[in-house]
Chains A and B, each alone.
Chain A
Amino acid sequence: MYNFDFEQPGSVEDAVAALKEEDALALSGGQTLIPSMKQRLNAPSKLVSLTGIEALKGVCQNGDTLSVGAATTHATVAADGGAYAALAALAGGIGDPAVRNRGTLGGSLANNDPAACYPSAVLASGATVVTNAREIAADDFFDGMFATALDEGEIITSVNFPIPEKASYQKFEQPASRFALTGVFVAKYADGVRVAVTGASEEGVMRWAEAEAALSADFSPEAVDGLTVAADGLISDLHGTPEYRANLIKVLTKRAVAAA
């Protein structure tokens, strides 16, 4: 790993100022960034640690919204996110206990790994990603594999999740990486159902519109029986073919509806 300067500001303002330097990068839990720096896929001149900023941490409920600070660890969301049980369960299923004690919501979203769990929850909940500069709707945030709407130096500060009537995340785990081989998040709101799929598309997390329409009309596993998912554009790797993933999307959607 190349060397860099380490900074640990105490406020969002100071972090934003520190990130103005060229080649400076934010460091949150480091569970993605540190491995990628070891591989020299990233070589920042400066790392600005966000984990000393108290304002970025914690889970709080305001009416029907659950607000989660960007630097909140997966373990904290699992423990304190009970008001949105499906979200807490998702956080409690990420990686392993040591990863959950360091990894954070903001890091997961900024990274937008095509097999990561959190992006599916954000998209299926129609959540709002709050940054130091603006609010970004989930539908506008994810921009293809490892890409997001974030500008350079922009920091996610929190995410506001509308709490659904019912929801469930079903992850078919890739046992070596512990990421989702495919995962489906289904969330039912008064005005309709949203279905988000991770680990399947070459474009990263995506919604499954046909299932949303069918489940909004009839929230039962059978409602998606007649639907098929096209294998075009789905990920092909040694763990699964596009056709296998297409089938998993349907199977996991049914399981999520049954479990919600």
Chain B
Amino acid sequence: MTEVKMTVNGRAVSGDAEGRTLLSTFLRETLGMTGTHVGCDTSQCGACVVHVNGNAVKSCTMFAHEAAGAEVATIEGQAAPDGTLNKIQQAFQDYHGLQCGFCTPGMVMSAAALLKENPQPTEAEVRDYLEGNICRCTGYHNIVRAIMAASGQEVPAVAAE
């Protein structure tokens, strides 16, 4: 094991990691930050999406050592320190964009990456961007509506397919 250092949600952190330690494992088990979920562990579902140097990545498909020195952002850093939800999180609550909540950390982090790149996406662009985020509960419509609302745009009454 060797020490790896990175910044997570603005805070300098370090911990020991083996070569094979995944970034998701490092966040959850070494740092105890269990907000990042592991749904599939096969790079398919997107529950584990975090940002590394501003880019959305699947933390189950990256080694902790590859994030050495990087700025990592996770779901834990999205709300304000007093617990006030950010715009995207609040919209997920308002528009019922989650049921069991397992996919939600990844959905919120993907949505944040999308809105940074494209602050006023069309509904089709939202759906396209979420291609790598799987939700077994909601049927996606309310997730799309939440992201449209978070971007300050009109929310489709019944999201079209």
Contacts and interface: CB of A to CB of B under 8 A. Distances in A.
A1 interface: yes
Given A30-B63, A34-B62, A97-B110, A102 B20 contact: no
Contacts of B131: 95-97, 178
B114 to A, nearest CB: 8
A9 B9 CA distance: 27
A51 B52 CA distance: 14
Interface string A190-221: 00000000000000000000000000000000
B57 A96 contact: no
Contact of B63 (A31, A34, A97, A178): A34
Contacts of B66: 8, 30, 49, 51
Nearest to B113: A97
B19 A102 contact: no
Interface residues of A, number: 25
B19 A47 contact: yes
A35 B42 contact: yes
B76 interface: no
Most buried by A among B49, B55, B66, B129: B66
Interface string A63-75: 0000000000001
Nearest to B60: A34
Given A6-B19, A38-B42, A75-B55, A98 B132 contact: yes
B63 A6 contact: yes
B133 to A, nearest CB: 8
Contacts of A34: 22, 43, 61-63
Given A3-B18, A3-B20, A101 B56 contact: yes
The contact size tier of chain B is: 20 to 34
B71 interface: no
A1 B20 contact: yes
B65 A31 contact: no
Interface string B15-29: 000111010000000
A2 B43 contact: no
Nearest to A35: B43
A151 interface: no
Nearest to A37: B20
A178 B42 CA distance: 14
A98 B42 contact: no
Interface string A1-23: 11111101000000000000000
A99 interface: yes
Interface in B23-69: 41-43, 46, 49, 55-58, 61-63, 65-66, 68
A51 B80 CA distance: 33
Nearest to A101: B55
Contacts of A102: 57-58, 61-62
Nearest to B19: A6
Contact of A30 (B41, B49, B62, B113): B62
A98 B19 contact: no
Contacts of B43: 31, 34-35, 99
Interface of B: 18-20, 22, 41-43, 46, 49, 55-58, 61-63, 65-66, 68, 110, 113-114, 129, 131-133
Given A6-B19, A30-B61, A98-B49, 4 more contacts: A6-B63, A8-B66, A96-B132, A97-B113
22 contacts: A3-B19, A3-B20, A4-B19, A4-B20, A6-B19, A8-B68, A30-B62, A30-B63, A34-B43, A34-B63, A35-B43, A37-B20, A96-B46, A96-B132, A97-B56, A97-B114, A98-B57, A99-B43, A99-B132, A102-B61, A178-B131, A178-B132
